[in-house]
Amino acid sequence: MIADHMVIASGRSHRHVTAVADQLLRSLKESGHGHNARVEGLSSGDWVLIDTGDIIIHIFRPEVREFYNIEKMWQAPELDGETVH
């Protein structure tokens, strides 16, 4: 298993993405969940990935989120016309 939970969010601009990520990291650390968090992409602000081990958080600019479409990648497969949950 990769993680227990995955969160996918968007920010309106580079600055907004990095501000959301900074605040989230601060909150995670204060709550005891982010001390060993690995962070990628904070300097560019296009796509920030925060991996706390149990939770993986993606924060995208809208254009980048649309391009990578990771929601589709992690979507449950359809079996006989029904989505598996």
**CATH code where residue 21 lies:** 3.30.460.10
Beta-strand pair 82-83/78-79: antiparallel
Residue 82 counted as domain residue:
no
pLDDT of residue 84: 55
The two three-digit tokens of residue 76, written as one number: 């449950």
> What Cα–Cα distance (Å) separates residue 43 from each residue in 7, 15, 27?
20, 10, 19
Residue 81 counted as domain residue:
no
User: Mean per-residue pLDDT for 15-19?
Assistant: 97
Find the domain containing 42 and state its range: 5-76
| CA–CA separation, 3 and 75 (whole Å) | 15
pLDDT in tens, 25-81: 999 999 988 888 999 999 999 999 999 988 999 999 999 999 999 888 777 777 766
Give which of 49, 2, 54 is closest to 32, Cα–Cα: 54
Q: Which residue has the higher pLDDT, 36 or 17?
A: 17
Q: Domain tally for the chain?
A: 1
